[in-house]
Amino acid sequence: MTDRRVLLVAHTGRADMYVTATHVQKVLEAASIELLALPGEGRELDLTMLDESVANGGTQESPVELVLALGGDGTLLRAAEVARPLRTPVIAINLGRVGFLAEAEADHLDDVLTLIIDRNYTLSRRMTVDVVIEHEGQVIDTCWALNEISVEKTTRERILDVVIEVDGKGVSAFGCDGVLCATPTGSTAYAFSAGGPIMWPDVEALLVVPSNAHALFARPMVVSPQSTVSMHIDPSGHDAIVTCDGRRTHEVPRGSKVHVRRGVHPVTMIKLGDQSFTDRLVAKFSLPVHGWRGRSH
């Protein structure tokens, strides 16, 4: 019986996923590593399933040495939900389009498996955010995110009126479609599309980005990781909704406050080789790096 196990989180909607998962299983089994699947996915992939209570972080010691995500960034975020309570590192192989958070592309699958077998990788701790939703002085819900949380209006026709506070001090009030609070990891995702800056992953900061705000001062803000960012929803306005990483939603009644702080528990991601974030940024966004004289910088 092997004492090495890897948990697979896969985009099972892909037609070729069964073939890919079978290949990964064979390669790892040849190195005496058992490949497990999430509850509900093992039958489809013909893999042994991880016990559901264990998958929810029910034990103190992780039963797997890492979580392997096969898919795009959405699959990586789903894998992070599993890896975080297990205190287990996660690595993603991109089978989608951009796959900004993925550590490698599909054509390097076997190279990645070799590095996993040899434990030839380093670890990178990624900042998360913890969210508390407060209504009439009572905590009504909590959540967390690796990329970002968004506080948004519930219907297209309405405007969400908010007051942004940092450490309990008001900064700006405006009507908007929503407000994003992102980590450095999430600065290349929804926050980037909303006009926010890109932050390198080793920057320790919170990023606040208004979405379609009706105000003169509604610029993105980079806030200390020791600060608490709060969004106060107008009590005479409309209800809102909080979405974490585009996956988990929570209702926010009018008059509530949404408090965002640096997460207590980070997500640990596996890093292969020495590719810099700058190189990844240029490659994923196909950025021009030639000056006006044709030189490469």
Positive or negative torsion for Cα 171, 173, 174, 176: positive
Domains in the chain, number: 2
* Torsion of Cα atoms, 270 then 273 then 277 then 281, to 10°: -100
| Pair 133, 182 in one domain | yes
Q: CATH number, domain at 186?
A: 2.60.200.30
The whole-number average pLDDT for the span 68-78 is 92
Residue recorded with tokens 């790096």? 289
Q: Which of 246, 75, 276, 248 is nearest to 147 (CA)?
A: 246
| Pair 122, 161 in one domain | no
| Pair 229, 153 in one domain | yes
User: What is residue 43's predicted lDDT score, i.e. its pLDDT?
Assistant: 75
Tokens of 244: 């974490």
184-218 pLDDT, tens digit each: 999 999 999 999 999 999 999 999 999 999 887 78
Write the burial class of residue 287 (CB in 10 Å: 0-12 exposed, 13-18 middle, 19+ buried): exposed
User: What is residue 155's predicted lDDT score, i.e. its pLDDT?
Assistant: 86
116-119, Cβ contacts within 8 angstroms, sequence gap of 24 or more: 116/6, 116/28, 116/33, 116/66, 116/68, 116/91, 117/27, 117/28, 117/31, 117/33
Read off the pLDDT band of 52 (50, 70, 90): low
Phi, psi values for residue 285, rounded to 5°:
-100, 5
Residue 111, H or E segment: helix 109-117
Residue type, 15: A
| Pair 101, 137 in one domain | no
167-177 pLDDT, tens digit each: 999 999 999 99
Q: CATH number, domain at 113?
A: 3.40.50.10330
Strand partners, 149: 181, 244
Task: Check whether 1 has a pLDDT greater than 80.
Answer: no
Q: Which of 78, 79, 74, 69 is nearest to 98 (CA)?
A: 74
User: What is residue 48's predicted lDDT score, i.e. its pLDDT?
Assistant: 86
| Pair 171, 242 in one domain | yes
Phi, psi values for residue 91, rounded to 5°:
-135, 140
User: What is residue 165's predicted lDDT score, i.e. its pLDDT?
Assistant: 96
User: What is residue 274's predicted lDDT score, i.e. its pLDDT?
Assistant: 83
Strand partners, 33: 4
Read off the pLDDT band of 46 (50, 70, 90): confident
| Pair 120, 152 in one domain | no
Domain range enclosing 24: 4-126+267-285
The whole-number average pLDDT for the span 115-140 is 96
Q: Which of 215, 240, 222, 228 is nearest to 182 (CA)?
A: 222
Read off the pLDDT band of 40 (50, 70, 90): confident
User: Count of residues for the chain?
Assistant: 297
Give the whole-number percent of the chain exceeding pLDDT 90: 67
- Domain-embedded: residue 290: no
Q: Which residues are known to be catalytic? A: 73
User: What is residue 49's predicted lDDT score, i.e. its pLDDT?
Assistant: 85
- Domain-embedded: residue 120: yes
Say if CB 137 and CB 201 are below 8 A apart: no
| Pair 111, 139 in one domain | no
Say if CB 175 and CB 164 are below 8 A apart: no
